[in-house]
């Protein structure tokens, strides 16, 4: 199911034996466009700590209750490596978490193929029961210099970035649509502002040629007119396969949207 990312903020994280906090934001990999971490605010339960959870432990979202169940216990989360607030998430920090839980950084069907370990394989994750990290990944994490992971980005921070087609500006990033099973980002939601009477347009990561963090801009590999001629998106309607095929066919993007 495709959901608006911002709508998941504040969802309760429910472990096997109780709640541990709420979703603050998502950290995604700007190469694969997959959510790599959920940032969870634990509140007074853990003295206002923040913890990172890999989407592989999330079960089926309960949108009516605004709950994301995870296959962990409160004790496991409490004993997990501490993540400093307001500091970049480094490769070393991530390596410590992978090692603690036994998680593989290459989780999910995109890495393992059909039938591979994904969010709904029903497995209970406990420290040490995951796959060992490949030596090359371990080495990269061990060599971390304390700077933030250059490919790890806070999704909320990109909201408001200006979007430029090949021939000029066309709007700004308003939100994201992501799959709450694979945890892949399928589309950016673009507000066209005054350029096209404030209409909203869906842009696939396939159209993104560059994200400039310094300039706070997203640059596309398509023209303004191509965007204006794209299939109209109605935010009040659920995206179906017919619309997705039409949208991807218009731009020549691979796949059908999911």
Q: Is 20 left (phi over 0), alpha (psi -120 to 50) or beta?
A: alpha
Classify domain 159-251 by CATH number: 2.30.30.240
Please give the structure tokens belonging to residue 159.
């909201």
Q: Name the E strands within the chain.
A: 2-4, 12-15, 18-29, 34-41, 50-53, 67-69, 152-154, 162-165, 168-179, 185-191, 200-203, 208-212, 217-220
CB distance 39 to 24 below 8 Å: yes
Three-state DSSP class for residue 142 = helix
Give the list of residues 6+ apart from residue 141 with CB closer than 8 angstroms, or none: 91, 92, 94, 95, 98, 133
Res. 37: pLDDT tops 90: yes
The percentage of residues in the chain with a pLDDT greater than 90, rounded to a whole number, is 58
Please give the structure tokens belonging to residue 49.
């700590």
pLDDT band at 256 (very low <50, low <70, confident <90, very high): low
Can you give the pLDDT at residue 86?
A: 67
Res. 179: pLDDT tops 90: yes
Res. 48: pLDDT tops 70: yes
Can you give the pLDDT at residue 108?
A: 64
Q: Which residue has the tokens 């109605």?
A: 234
CA distance 109 to 186: 15
Can you give the pLDDT at residue 30?
A: 86
Distances (CA, A) of 36 to 103, 166, 248, 255: 12, 30, 25, 22
Res. 203: pLDDT tops 80: yes
Q: What is the mean pLDDT of residues 36-42?
A: 94
> Mean pLDDT of all residues in the chain?
83
Q: Of 25-39, 58-72, 84-98, where does mean pLDDT reach its minimum?
A: 84-98
- Predicted TM-score (pTM) of the model is 0.82
Can you give the pLDDT at residue 146?
A: 52
Can you give the pLDDT at residue 105?
A: 85
Cα-based angle 10, 110, 158 (whole degrees, multiple of 5): 40
Res. 52: pLDDT tops 90: yes
Give 229-244 pLDDT, tens digit per residue. 998 888 888 888 899 9
Higher pLDDT, 105 or 141: 105
Can you give the pLDDT at residue 213?
A: 86
- Give domain limits for the chain: 2-154, 159-251
Q: Of 12-21, 36-45, 56-65, where does mean pLDDT reach its minimum?
A: 36-45
Identical fold between 2-154 and 159-251: yes
Fold classification of 2-154 (topology level): SH3 type barrels. (2.30.30)
Higher pLDDT, 218 or 133: 218
Res. 66: pLDDT tops 90: yes
Res. 222: pLDDT tops 70: yes
Can you give the pLDDT at residue 126?
A: 35
Angle at which helix 135-142 crosses helix 91-101, to 10 degrees, equals 130
Closest CA to 37 of 73, 70, 79, 66: 70
Q: Of 61-70, 82-91, 214-223, where does mean pLDDT reach its minimum?
A: 82-91
């Amino acid at each position: 199911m495709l959901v608006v990312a911002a709508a998941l903020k504040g969802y309760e994280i429910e472990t096997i034996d109780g709640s541990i906090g709420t979703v603050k934001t998502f950290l995604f990999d700007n190469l694969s466009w997959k959510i790599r971490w959920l940032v969870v605010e634990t509140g007074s339960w853990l003295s206002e700590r923040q913890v990172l959870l890999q989407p592989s432990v999330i079960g089926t979202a309960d949108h009516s209750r605004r709950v994301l169940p995870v296959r962990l216990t409160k004790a496991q989360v409490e004993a997990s490596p501490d993540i400093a607030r307001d500091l970049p998430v480094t490769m070393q920090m991530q390596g410590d978490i992978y090692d603690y839980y036994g998680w593989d950084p290459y989780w999910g069907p995109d890495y393992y193929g059909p039938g591979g370990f994904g969010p709904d394989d029903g497995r209970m994750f406990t420290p040490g029961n995951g796959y060992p990290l490949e030596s090359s990944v371990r080495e990269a994490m061990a060599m971390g210099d304390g700077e933030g992971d250059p490919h790890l980005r806070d999704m909320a921070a990109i909201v408001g970035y200006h979007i430029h087609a090949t021939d000029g500006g066309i709007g700004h990033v308003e939100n994201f649509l992501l799959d709450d099973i694979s945890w892949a980002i399928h589309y950016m939601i673009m507000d066209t502002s005054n350029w096209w009477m404030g209409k909203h347009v869906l842009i696939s990561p396939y159209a993104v040629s560059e994200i400039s963090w310094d300039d706070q801009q997203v640059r596309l590999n398509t023209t303004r007119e191509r965007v204006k001629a794209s299939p109209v998106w109605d935010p009040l309607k659920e995206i179906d396969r017919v619309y997705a095929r039409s949208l991807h066919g218009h731009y020549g993007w691979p796949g059908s949207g999911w």
